Amino acid sequence: MQILKAEPGSFRDPYGKIFYVDDNILRVARYDGINRINFISKNNLLEKLISQDYLIDSKITNQYDSIIDNIEGKIIIKHKKIPFISYPYEWSFEQLKDAAIHHLDLHLFLLENNATLIDASAYNIQFNINKPIFIDILSIKEYVEGEFWLAHKQFCENFLNPLILKSKKGINFNNWFKGNLDGIKTEEIYSILNIKDFFSYNIFTNIFLMNYFDKKILKEESKKKIDLGKKKLSKVALVSILKQLRSFIKNLNYVKSKTTWDTYSQNNTYKKNEEDEKKKIVTNFILKNKFNHLVDMGCNDGVYSEISLSSGCKLVVGFDYDLNSVENAYIKAKNENLNLLPLYLDAANPSSNLGWNETERKGFKARAKFDGMLALAFEHHLAIAKNIPLEQTLKWLINIAPKGLIEFVPKNDETIKKMLLLKGDIFNDYNEQNFKDIILKNAKIVSEHNVSASGRKIFEYNVL
């Protein structure tokens, strides 16, 4: 029997909700949502949006009418499944920039086709592996001549302000965005920019003036009301605003601050032959298991993700807490068209269930459904650097996927020596035997390989 499940995070749009039937993703449109779907279906707009990779593959279907029988007057749209749902606070600068450009390109394309977008939520963009794609068909509606871009401020707070924060101030937007799911507020970004920054036309208008008018209106609201009924924005003007923003965002960059990890794959403590051996172990593990969805914990710039893909793995989702590494891996995935989605994750403070009722945005654990895992040179960043007990670290890792490779890094390894230099050795339980015993409590050990003269060892486990 097919089971119907409502998506708890789909509640903001009164005209449509997401449901799951087994592995199928269904959007049920009602009320004005039906008019929007009918409009999009006309003039081949739906086909054009899908064929030009603006919108996720979506089909109107009546296949599920009998399962969703408690909702009257509806249209059901079946969407293609996104391999891994990610959120803007897990993206690197370049990923958010590409998402912003995709949003603006979609809006410009819609305006050419007499349609527009009702919102500008960054959550409506997902990464279909290495390319951004729009997922919310019900955000598209018929364009009415003269209407304002109601989502202008939302666009700025979801896309523009976080990008400016990184570009002009060198501050990563991720943790700030995770704290306020609506992005970086105009008044917040305004207060940290300086006069020099406001010389930019786009920053002056979209931040300085936006903040000024917001404040002015709040002051005046109690005294008198502002009439916007007669004011109109021509399509030419709207297109021009969108193009201005597109060109500004396209040219936004930031000065990369050097981190320990962004050159790790070239400058690490391994010798050439040790690294080759490690690559061989990964290749054999992937060849043997042929995973559909592999997770690469501490993926760095994606060296082992790439090896996994070339060895037959279908998709890799990589996580790293170094944003420069995530950026490098994303650029590589994009340029070489790899089935790799790198994302930001601080494993000691992973994305948790957030938003309304703590179900709107799912945490890492709720989304982490992988059939294989690589955790190479990773565990000591939790067990040593973050003082997370070894038993908890390994249990957490093994729970991510039923099969995997976990590398043990001994205390006499140079990286751990550095970590313990000031802290001192306070980790009495951290040794290879204990490491092995903990894995054995949670899984079978399939194989173990020495990979460095310092005593690094890769364990292959299997919980099945």
Partner 1 sequence: MLKIIFTLYIYFFSIGTAHAYIDPGTGSIILQAILGFIAVILAGASFYWNKFKLFIKKIFKKDKDANP
Q: How many CB atoms lie within 10 A of CB 22?
A: 10
**Positive or negative torsion for Cα 5, 129, 258, 89:** negative
Stretches 16-24, 29-37, 64-72, 222-230: which one binds partner 1 (CB under 8 A)? Answer: 222-230
> Is the Cβ of residue 186 or residue 351 nearer to partner 1 in the bound state?
186
* Number of residues in contact with partner 1 under rule CB under 8 A: 38
CB atoms near residue 382 (< 10 Å) = 22
The distance of closest approach from Cβ of residue 209 to partner 1 in the complex, given in angstroms and rounded to an integer, is 5
Residue 227 burial (CB count, 10 A): 7
Tell me the CB-side half-sphere exposure of residue 17, using CA atoms within 13 A.
16
Task: Give min distance, CB of 216 to partner 1, in A.
Answer: 7
- Note whether 224 binds partner 1 by CB under 8 A: yes
Q: Which is nearer to partner 1, 1 or 228 (CB)?
A: 228
- Binding flag, residue 213, partner 1 (CB under 8 A): yes
Residue found by looking up tokens 């008198």 in the block: 224
Rounded Cα distance between 377 and 282, Å, is: 13
| Minimum distance, C-beta of residue 221 to partner 1, in the bound complex (Å) | 6
Residue 112 lies near partner 1 (rule: CB under 8 A): no
| Contact residue for partner 1 among 118, 233, 331, 388 (CB under 8 A) | 233
Site for partner 1 in 234-293 (CB under 8 A): 234, 236-238, 240-241, 244
> In Å, what is the CA distance from 21 to each residue of 111, 128, 136?
34, 21, 18
Torsions phi, psi of 311, nearest 5? -95, 5
Indicate the residue among 146 and 363 with the shorter CB distance to partner 1: 146
Q: Does residue 373 sit in helix, strand or coil?
A: strand
CB 123 within 8 A of CB 99: no
Binding partner 1 by CB under 8 A: which of 6, 71, 217, 463? 217
Is 107 a binding residue for partner 1 by CB under 8 A? The answer is no
Q: How far is the CB of 236 from partner 1 (least distance, A)?
A: 6
Provide the minimum distance between the beta carbon of 190 and partner 1 in the complex, in angstroms, as a whole number.
12
Taking CB under 8 A as the criterion, the residue among 57, 65, 182, 221 binding partner 1 is: 221
Query: Please, is 333 exposed, middle or buried when counting C-beta atoms within 10 Å of its C-beta (0-12, 13-18, 19+)?
Result: buried
Does position 211 interact with partner 1 (CB under 8 A)? The reply is yes
The reply to whether 161 sits near partner 1 by the rule CB under 8 A is: no
Taking the complex as a whole, the smallest distance from the CB of residue 135 to partner 1 amounts, in Å, to 23
When the beta carbons of 148 and 292 are compared against partner 1, the nearer one is 148
CB-based burial, 192-219: b 16+ in 10 Å, e otherwise: ebeeebeebebbeebbbebbeeeeeeee
Taking the C-alpha atoms of residue 210 and residue 149, their distance in angstroms, rounded to an integer, is 14
Footprint on this chain of partner 1 (rule: CB under 8 A): 148-150, 152-154, 156, 201, 204-206, 209-217, 220-221, 224-231, 233-234, 236-238, 240-241, 244
